[in-house]
Chains A and B, each alone.
Chain A
Amino acid sequence: MKKLLLLLIASSLVVPLASSAQRKTKPRARSTAPLYNSNTREATLKNQLSNALRMAQGGQYEAAANNLFTLSRRSELAAERPQIKYILGTMLMELKLNQTAAFQFVDVIRTKHPKYSKLAIEKLSIVADTLGDDTILNYAISRVDLNDFPSNLRDMINYRLGEIKLRNREFRQSAELFGKVSFGSSYYFQALYNKGLAELEENQPSLAIGTFNKMLDARRKAPVTDTNKVAAQMGLARALYQKQDWEASIEAYAQVPRDTLMWHDAVFEQSWAMLRAARFRSALSNFQTLHSAYYEDFYMPESLLLRAIVYLYICKYDEMEKVLSLFEKTYGPVRAKIGDFLKSTNEASAFYAEIEKAHYMKTTDKSSNLRLPYIVLRNVLDQGDVKRSMHYLDKLNQEKARVESNPAFRASPLGQYALKILANRGKNTKFAVGDMVKAHLLNMRVELRDLYEQAGFIRYEMITGRKESIKKKISGKDIEQIDENIDRQFYIQNGYEYYPFQGEYWLDEVGNYHYLGKQSCE
């Protein structure tokens, strides 16, 4: 990469000097003063350009970038501008000023220069990846004829186009584009995962199972907690669930490693599979984990209703009552606060301010004065789009700090220009995040309304069940409630030790709880 850069700079050094040499022969016939001045100025600029390029070649990136930036604004060098901006962008990349570099590459792409536009797209893909900002890249892709792309960028283009199609719910085309990403590409595993997702959206779980298995196979030698491997395992479990192969799905969820972020979702989703497989005791074991004190910051209203449903199946009406009350006690205020907040403001900045405070709480041990419940904001922070944008903001802040840490560079025109770009991008991203937060809150409000409706139905079923149970009790057909006997002794098979739960939750026990009650239905 560095060699290529040096070669490019070297070739750039030759081009302006050669063109300058060629022109030297022509003006001989002309002898008017203004033309002489113009030629002198042009020659000076060319010299300056040559000097800047030499600096770039010599590794003096900061000085070179400053000179190139000045030259890029000179109208006399309009013809060389794509080349100057491209090299300026590469200098900025070397200085780890990726956002400022991205702007240079976008400018070059816009010029549709036969040589530098393609090169700029390649560079832009690198800085976009580093920044985690897809919008710049997608913008660039939309500006250029796809057939003009160099073959080494095809994988990236296919991947990005696949993403766009997936977002537009064109699942078949999306899966095809993801399928075109070749094995050696850095986009390969993401493409494979997204292909599986698109296939699931297309309701083709068997195809998706094949895709996720292929991904797992390709990552066989990777460490246990490898993100791609775990994501593939999770995708496989979901595909098996969609295929209604409950037992295989439960088994696949159980393979998600505990020391990964996806494990929490795996436990919850596995509980659904257990309910569908009528493994009620197993589902309740999972709920002991999910509703432990470790999850008090997690937004999981559905899990409480699911637990109530499982209790309904095993005729544990008292437990159902407790869980439904907990649901109302926890999510009633949450619902009210979301509603109040949405009514009180429409400003994206207000939504961003809340999420920023929650982000601060999440990443430090300090608390903050929040208007929305933390469990809500934590959930929003974990949404892919918000997470990506917060990460992007973080990168912008790092770049800003880099500029500000160098007083000389900060005072230079390029430094000022970089700070202006970063401020604008930061401001716009914060607004975008605010809009995302608002959209998520609106979705949550709708979801909670639906869940409350479902809670009402579940409560109705509970009352009916209780009525039947009382009838049986009166007629003497009632069966013993085994859970009432708390002193009984258990033997766990397979030689595992057993000791009773005493109300405290230990990190090393989370995920290992076992519900030992039995169903109370006749």
Chain B
Amino acid sequence: MLKNGFKAVAIIILALLLHKAAFAAEVIELPPEELAQESVLPVFDKPVSVKNRNVVTNKRIEADIFYGYAMTEPIANVSKLGLGIYYNTSESSAWGLLLAKNFAGLSSYADQLDEQFNLKFDRAPSPELTAMLDYNLKAFYGKMSLSKSLVINTILFGSASAGIVKYVHKTYPAVAVGLGQKFYFTKNWSLRFDLRLYANQAPVPFLAGHLKPAEPVPDYSDFEERVTFTTNLDVGLSYLF
């Protein structure tokens, strides 16, 4: 009942928003010969795709706060919160530092395993902190029009990072590669999305004979270690100073 009520409110709000965009105040008549007929580009001595760009990043600092979601993490808590600070050395490159603190507790999957099989994965070591030096290669600066009055600029970039992942008992070196996209809704503020694949040495949480309540509590050093790959999606808010 309540769910349907929310749905109705959402539809009404959406209709009101669309109503504003759909009914124009004025109709402009443009002669056909003035409308775009060619998809080719004009010839210039030194062609550049954009001039007088709205978002100028060169030699500027950018800071962001983000939420990270470990998409392939089975046991530890999949969430983390982080801070990043970048310096844009040019319009195509940026260097930054990332620091992310993992949430405590276990993933919902680990909770399920506990409910069904009485497995206590909180005995396994979990990640606490990630610190990375990140390089961004800004490949494309673009823009997109979301409505007749809203245009946002975008930057698509590739990232490569190296740093550490700290577990409760030990710190491991880590590397990551990824792709990211920033959506600038003002000249300073943007939404930042980063999809990264982390590779680092990490303890394997599955240790036979030590995870049930009746079994002896293992030492952290009992857990086997191996290279682990984790896909991570970060969503953050970024400010360009």
A: residues with CB less than 8 A from B are: 250-251, 254, 257-261, 263-264, 279, 282, 285, 292-294, 297, 362-363, 365, 487-494, 496-500, 502-508, 510-512, 514, 516
| Across-interface contacts of A499 in B (CB, < 8 A) | 145, 148-149, 151
Besides A489-B148, A490-B148, 7 other A-B contacts (C-beta < 8 A): A258-B38, A259-B41, A282-B31, A292-B51, A489-B26, A514-B28, A514-B34
Q: Are B35 and A507 in contact (CB under 8 A)?
A: no
Residue of A nearest to B47 (CB): A507
Q: Among the listed B35, B42, B45, which residue makes an inter-chain contact with A494, where contact means beta carbons less than 8 Å apart?
A: B35
Question: Does more than half of chain A's interface fall in helix, strand or loop, or is it mixed?
Answer: loop
Category for how many chain B residues contact A: 35 or more
Cα distance A25–B46 when bound, in Å?
Answer: 73
| Across-interface contacts of A503 in B (CB, < 8 A) | 52, 54
* B187 CB to nearest A CB, Å: 10
Q: Are B151 and A500 in contact (CB under 8 A)?
A: yes
Q: Is B14 an interface residue when CB atoms closer than 8 A count as contact? A: no
Cα distance A491–B23 when bound, in Å?
Answer: 8
Chosen A-B contacts, 23 in total, with CB atoms closer than 8 Å, are: A257-B38, A258-B38, A259-B41, A259-B43, A260-B43, A294-B42, A362-B45, A489-B24, A490-B27, A491-B28, A494-B30, A496-B36, A497-B145, A499-B148, A499-B151, A500-B148, A500-B151, A502-B54, A504-B50, A504-B54, A507-B49, A508-B49, A514-B30
Residue of B nearest to A289 (CB): B42
Q: Are B33 and A250 in contact (CB under 8 A)?
A: yes
Question: Does more than half of chain B's interface fall in helix, strand or loop, or is it mixed?
Answer: loop
Q: Are B41 and A507 in contact (CB under 8 A)?
A: yes
| Across-interface contacts of B44 in A (CB, < 8 A) | 294, 507
| Across-interface contacts of B31 in A (CB, < 8 A) | 279, 282
Cα distance A279–B34 when bound, in Å?
Answer: 12
Q: Are B41 and A258 in contact (CB under 8 A)?
A: yes
| Across-interface contacts of B45 in A (CB, < 8 A) | 297, 362-363
B: residues with CB less than 8 A from A are: 20-21, 23-54, 143, 145, 148-149, 151
Q: Among the listed A362, A488, A494, which residue makes an inter-chain contact with B32, where contact means beta carbons less than 8 Å apart?
A: A494
Q: Are B50 and A507 in contact (CB under 8 A)?
A: yes
Cα distance A261–B44 when bound, in Å?
Answer: 8
Residue of B nearest to A497 (CB): B145
Q: Are B30 and A492 in contact (CB under 8 A)?
A: yes
| Across-interface contacts of A293 in B (CB, < 8 A) | 51-52
Q: A498-B148, A505-B50, A507-B48 are in contact. Are A493 and B27 (CB under 8 A)?
A: yes
Q: Among the listed A258, A514, A516, which residue makes an inter-chain contact with B40, where contact means beta carbons less than 8 Å apart?
A: A258
| Across-interface contacts of B30 in A (CB, < 8 A) | 492-494, 496, 514
Q: A488-B26, A493-B30 are in contact. Are A259 and B42 (CB under 8 A)?
A: yes
